[in-house]
Structure 1
Amino acid sequence: MTEDTPISEIRHAPLAGVIGLPIAHSRSPKLHAHWLKRYAIDGYYIPMPVMPENLAEMLRALPRLGFVGINVTIPHKEAVLTLADVVTDRAALIGAANTLIFRPDGKIHADNTDGYGFIANLRQSAPEWVPDRGPAAIIGAGGAARAVVASLLDSGVGELRITNRTRVRSEQIRSEFGARVIVYDWAQAGNMLEGSATVVNATSLGMRGKQPLRIPLDALSPDALVTDLVYTPLITPFLAEAQARGCRIVDGLGMLLHQAAPGFERWFGQRPTVDDETRRIVLE
């Protein structure tokens, strides 16, 4: 490119980013910057705090500024569905989107890759895991839990047990996902673990700065695979206790890394690899 190059011929580096409120804590910019550098891609990934009242205007403006897509986090994951032109079946089923693609035709494409990231993390970290080996038990019934429920049922889990402090949210998931979902009262959460082959904490309980997850693990089988969506700390007290009982554990960081890969590929044209170096960079 020279000073005489017509503006129409200037190739702009693709832009992507993450929107939410707050956003300073997000590890996504570090992750995507690592992949951009690894694959020598001329592009940028930018964290952007966005107030809810500015969301629609922001989504209209970003493509004009050169953005090819964005990740979406709290509190915008549900609201973007109403603003998107195309919504994938899994995003509609989960009721939230975490990945937007700004298409060349001007339309906004909304997807949810959380469930993909969850399953990919299990398969990479515990290759011996078999979805239909026994019931799955899910603690929590929020947006993240809905993505986990959808992905586990799609993977072939025959029975999915779920509990939440507010039972009506669990009942809502059962009504939407069908008879394979069995609802337990919060007070009976410990009993839900008996015979469960896969156990998931899909709440924020146990996260650094949050209240601990107080569920008795006496009924937990040492043959169960136990995972936590929380990754700060990497080994939560819930995972530490499960490990002490002989369970195979999987931390939540891998889900964050794997859910980011499909968006990166769509925006920048390269499928990134999630490996030990990626984990190390993001944890630094």
Structure 2
Amino acid sequence: MPDSQPHAPRHVPIAGVLGWPIAHSRSPRLHGHWLQRYGIDGHYIPIPVMPEHLAEVLRAMPRMGFVGANVTIPHKESVLALADVVTDRAALIGAANTLIFRSDGKIHADNTDGYGFIANIRQHAPGWIPDLGPAALIGAGGAARAVVASLLESGVTELRIANRTRIRAEQIRAEFGARVVVYDWAQAGNMLEGAITVVNATSMGMDGKPPLRVPLDALAPGTLVTDLVYTPLMTPFLLEAQARGCEIVDGLGMLLHQAAPGFERWFGHRPEVDDDLRRAVLG
């Protein structure tokens, strides 16, 4: 006789990305590529959430079958107060980009941006030695904080930083310690002298934004130069650095690598970051 007992429904894991607005996010394309590639029965969707609805949405998501989520602007700071468990690196950076909804009902918040930043450099500039000389960072916003944490953790002995609003750079120095040296915005070009790693962590140079006007005359050939902007992939900043003989790394890989730890936790498979993924995300 056929079994008349109803079978328990199979749980299909769902994850997504929370932001406002969210239509521009490439994360659904990124995770969708991995789900298809590894034949995983799961979903990853964009979730537009206004700031005033964030707490309510987060509480409801685990009950709707969500196993976790990525978090983007403007929610990366706010989710820390709503999470039950916050990793040390998310607390240090002051923002989270990856949430895991645990089986015990607790929301676990992490920040994988710094991991993504370093993994991108290691993939495209395998000869990079962070402690060979100073690093110079342009910008002091949320993304910059993740870069600061990861560069200091990698062994950078001196991290120079310049920001249009100096107080934000001073705040980073106060929190991250004496290896951080603050430069005036007018002196941003000077801080590149002798630097072996140079990072643009501002949105300047992005499509639709004003160009980055920091003079690059002090860049030495062989310096590793990277930009967190990836629209366009080759920013004017990277093009000029390349023309000066620098080793350049575009910003797309940071987006790709920061996504991998979350995907592994949610869907149970460690994904690969390769050229196929880059092509899929660039469309």
TM bin, normalised by shorter chain, reads over 0.9
In the alignment, the residues of structure 1 paired with residue 76 and residue 23 of structure 2 have an alpha-carbon distance, to the nearest angstrom, of 17
Matching residue of 1:44: 43
Matches within 5 A, 1:154-233: 154-233=153-232
Q: Which residue number corresponds to residue 25 of structure 2? A: 26
**Residue 68 to residue 187, structure 1, CA distance change in 2 (3 Å):** same
In the alignment, what sits opposite 2:105? 106
Residue type at the aligned position of 2:51: P
For residue 22 of structure 2, give the secondary structure of its aligned residue in structure 1. coil
The equivalent of 1:274 in structure 2 is: 273
Displacement of 1:4 in angstroms is 5.6
Shift, 1:202, TM fit: 0.3
Cα deviation 1:160-210 (Å, max 9, x = unaligned): 000000000000000000000000000000000000000000000000000
Q: Over the residues paired in the alignment, what is the CA RMSD in angstroms?
A: 1.1
Provide the residue aligned with 2:76 in structure 1: 77
Q: Distance in 2 between matches of 1:25 and 1:262?
A: 22
Q: Find the counterpart in structure 1 of residue 142 from structure 2.
A: 143
Q: Please give the per-residue CA displacement for 1:120-162, whole angstroms capped at 9, x wherever unaligned.
A: 0000010011111110000000000000000000000000000
TM-score (norm 1): 0.98
CA separation of 1:63/1:168 partners in 2, compared to 1, >3 Å: closer, same or farther? same
- Percent identity, please: 80
**In the alignment, what sits opposite 1:241?**
240
* Uncovered stretches (5+) of structure 1, i.e. residues with no partner: none
Amino acid at match of 1:45: Y
Cα distance in 1 for partners of 2:134, 2:19 equals 34
Partner of 2:257: 258
User: Residue 118 of structure 2 aligns to which amino acid in structure 1?
Assistant: I
Number of paired residues? 282
Q: CA deviation at 1:12?
A: 1.9
Q: Secondary structure of the residue that 2:188 maps to in structure 1?
A: helix
Unaligned runs of 5+ in 2: none
What are the Cα deviations for residues 235-260 of structure 1, in whole angstroms up to 9, with x where unaligned? 00000000000000000000000000
Distance 1:235 1:252 in 2: 9
